[in-house]
Chain A
Amino acid sequence: MKRLLLVLLCFLSFSVYANEPTATTEEATDKEAFSPGEMILHHIGDSHEWHWFSTDNDHFTTYLPVIAFRPGQGVSVFSSRNLAEGKVYEGLKLEHEHLVSEDGSKVYDFSITKNVASLMISAVLLLAVFTAVARGYAKRGSGAPKGIQSFFEPIIVFIRDEVAKKSIGPKYERYMPYLLTVFFFIWFNNLMGLMPGGANLTGNIAVTLTLAVLTLLITLFSSNKNYWHHIFATPGVPKPLLPIMIPVELIGIVVKPFSLMVRLFANITAGHIVTLSFISLIFIFRSLTVSPVTLAFGLFINCLELLVAILQAYIFTLLTAMYIGGAVEEHHDADYQMGGGDGAEPAHAH
């Protein structure tokens, strides 16, 4: 079973390439009013109001505040109800969920959008949960954990022992706050995104970009001499090759967080697209008979997403820890495996 899950994980990393065209083909084949592609993209995207569900003649929506800054005109704050269904308010309107001004002048959108609201809720939730856990440790010390603390202790210990200690080495303690934060942030938000009405926060590339940039900055600021020596004077590489190797190494620095960003974004977004596509099939076929099948598949994907939620959090944390570990490690076993160079050969000759 475990092996099956591991194999699934490997494929899930690539599932987005197979799934993204699904939305567009559905879009093309469906000529009726219901357009699954549009519905799916609307669901996975950010919006200025929080739409919960609709009945035949009513929409249940929470209207969130719009905060717009226009140079020269200052800040305007109002409810997004004023912009609903393409209405214009104070010279502003929504164009495909982008806040634009009517006269085409520049607008900086600082609105509390659905994703921002979701981020705030998750921040409050994380603070509430982990201050409770921390209080448990303050009260009981190293005694047996109780309540919510006992649920999170094995996970925290797992991150410490299996992720941080093994990847970073003796200096792991400095990075524990970040690793734990990033793990629980991603996990909680993945799960919140799977809840009915939840926002697709970790499937938003701006959010994953921020996380990846934080990882990049922490890696760069904690890097030591060895790390940069490896980049600008890679051991075992002849001097004339360095002009080629330095760009290659520099690409490597950027690509590592970039792949973190894309992986989290792609996995979570793909999961949402697949689930929604299965549900949409009912409306595409306009038939009740397909619903047991599509609901079964949708449920299966949703359960799989519960697993993906924690796996992606784990992978992000683990790879972050590995990148940090690569930046802080002192001596290099890798040098001996590189086919010899300035340092390695004499050591073997003796």
Chain B
Amino acid sequence: MAAPVPQPPRPPDSENTSDRMRAVARYSGIGAQMLATIGLSTWAGYWLDGHFQNKTPWFTLSLMLLGLFAALYNVIRSVTKEQ
């Protein structure tokens, strides 16, 4: 089986507005997703710490780091994926 050959980039004028809008929407979506991942996991950790009344905010710390990692991982995965 032949490995997929990388296609040469198309000349910019063949790229229509719809494709460009699509790219903008896609990448702005990835950015929003990154923010949402970090925000949501930090909030979950914060809530858990409040719920269990921890002295040291372990949940906030660990979930925030996990959220950061998840956000970065998902960004890298989304941008390396050929659309």
Contacts and interface: CB of A to CB of B under 8 A. Distances in A.
B33 A256 contact: yes
Contacts of A334: 77, 80-82
A103 interface: no
Contacts of B36: 255, 258-259, 262
Contacts of B47: none
Most buried by B among A245, A248, A252: A248
A9 interface: yes
A252 B74 contact: yes
Given A13-B32, A255-B33, A2 B17 contact: yes
B70 interface: yes
Contacts of B81: 333-334, 337
Q: How large is the interface on A (under 10, 10 to 19, 20 to 34, 35 or more residues)?
A: 20 to 34
Q: Is the interface of A mostly helix, strand, loop or mixed?
A: helix
Contacts of B29: 259, 263, 315, 319, 322
A336 B6 CA distance: 11
Contacts of A158: 18
A96 interface: no
Contacts of A314: 21, 25
Nearest to A323: B29
Contact of A6 (B24, B35, B73): B24
Contacts of A322: 26, 29, 83
A239 interface: no
A2 B15 CA distance: 14
B10 interface: no
B24 A9 contact: yes
Given A256-B33, A262-B36, A347-B3, A6 B21 contact: yes
Interface string A2-37: 100010011001000000000000000000000000
Interface in B1-37: 1, 3-4, 17-18, 20-22, 24-26, 28-29, 31-33, 35-37
Contacts of A337: 80-82
B36 to A, nearest CB: 4
A314 B28 CA distance: 13
B45 interface: no
A334 to B, nearest CB: 4
A71 B66 CA distance: 43
A2 B21 CA distance: 9
Given A334-B80, A337-B81, A251 B25 contact: no
A322 B1 CA distance: 28
B69 interface: yes
Contact of B28 (A13, A336, A350): A13
Name, among B26, B29, B80, the residue most crowded by chain A CB atoms within 10 Å (CB to CB): B29
A187 B50 CA distance: 40
A315 B33 CA distance: 13
B33 A259 contact: yes
Nearest to A7: B24
Interface in B54-73: 66-67, 69-70, 73
The 6 closest A-B pairs by CB, nearest first: A259-B36, A248-B70, A334-B81, A259-B32, A337-B80, A162-B18
13 contacts: A2-B17, A158-B18, A162-B18, A244-B69, A251-B40, A252-B70, A255-B37, A318-B26, A334-B77, A334-B80, A338-B77, A338-B80, A347-B1
Interface of B: 1, 3-4, 17-18, 20-22, 24-26, 28-29, 31-33, 35-37, 40-41, 66-67, 69-70, 73-74, 77, 80-83
Given A255-B36, A322-B83, 14 more contacts: A248-B66, A251-B41, A251-B66, A254-B40, A255-B74, A258-B40, A259-B33, A263-B32, A315-B25, A318-B22, A319-B26, A319-B29, A337-B82, A338-B77
